[in-house]
Structure 1
Amino acid sequence: MAAPVTHVIFDVDGLILDTERLYTQITDKIVEQYGKTFTWDVKSKQMGKKDVEAAKILIDELQLPITPEEYLVQARAQQKILFPTVDLLPGAEKLIKHLHKHKVPIAVATGSSKRSIGLKTTRHQELFSLFLHFVYSSDDPEVKHGKPAPDCFLIASSRFSDSPDPSKCLVLEDAVNGVVAAHAAGMQCVWVPDPQQPQDGYKETATLTLTSLTEFKPELFGLPPYED
């Protein structure tokens, strides 16, 4: 059962922005050079991780003859081209603006770097300016471990001006690693998984599972309901 919350923490990739599709496109192109195939099983292990951690998982799983740093050089060259074109996912803009309007404290906790988020938000800077703060796990020295460790969510919570108890924070996530991290942080989590993501074993960890943020009802968590 959902309990009332006062603060909301958002993931970005695959939840607010349609970047997971671009990550797949970029990775497919790179691994094909080495005669490898990028599978959903590998992708699901990477999601939510710090950049270097995600690259190492890919290289280890597919036995690529390159280092994480070499992979990231190739990936970032493609990201620079593709990320500024990314679209918002359904329901994200409405929810963010609604929470901001009603003065619900909102923040971002992402596995991405500040550089990466800067590219992805090129067309959406006004919307992202509504967040009180960002935790960039790949850059932040306080984030010792990426998702599924709870670090980024606990740090995001502590940086709200009133430092709420983690139980008062709701996490919105698309990745299994993020769901596990939120649970470990003692926070409720709304999970919006990719349709290809196997859900067995994780629905019980998430407080609520949706197919899209358009289905989210804020009042289920004691937040102001939509007016329309």
Structure 2
Amino acid sequence: MIRAEHIVKSFDGRVVLNDISADFAPGITNLIIGQSGSGKTVLLKSLVGLHKIDSGNIYYNDVCFNRLPFKERKAIREEVGMIFQGGALLDSSNVEENVRLPLDLFTTMSMSEKRDRVNFCLKRVNLGDVNHLYPAEISGGMIKRVAIARAIVLNPKYLFCDEPNSGLDPMTSVLIDNLIQEITQEYNITTIINTHDMNSVMEIGEHIIFIHQGQKWWEGTKHDILHADNRELNDFVFASAMAKRAREVEM
């Protein structure tokens, strides 16, 4: 469980997050949606500790994360997995080395133990015989699956995903969505996904926060969203659906 209480964040005197409170439960897919510039990425980065908030509190279970000393915050960060927008694989490292990186940094496992763990995670994301390939040799969808494998290699309690479907075709996007949801449920992870993809919202939106101009404007599920009496949300849903359709036509 991650809980945000009255989060305020400003940059150069401009308020980007204004009094946002929300609970993110484990075992379900928690989505943050909103237009570009709405503050959703800042909220995600604030929750994971990449941005220092101006006021409010962020709790990981019952621990107030933002008030911990650096060493204790570091211990919680080791329980966090991150999936970045472009995958963020190291181009000079092969797939096995990319997935193994957190094990090299944060564990004392033997090389054979690390290899077993890497192979388990790659198998979990339905990748085989790719250990010695480099990022330039695999597809965009495979890169995202390698990124997921790396994110779960330390058995995280918390998983943060920044636009995990960015740049993917619709079919691959659905596969990535379903994979993230399956892993979330299987390991009871607190998963928070930042997205503007309405297909993702309607596929896996078990808990959705809509951010508008730095404020929490709406909260609900994928079943609620189509019947919401909220003009800004409705405008966002319509515009996102039209943009998605235009991209699919271009493909």
Class of the TM-score when normalised by the shorter of the 2 chains: under 0.3
Q: TM-score, normalised by structure 2?
A: 0.25
Q: TM-score, normalised by structure 1?
A: 0.27
Highest Rg: 1 or 2? 2
- In terms of fraction of residues, the more strand-rich structure is 2
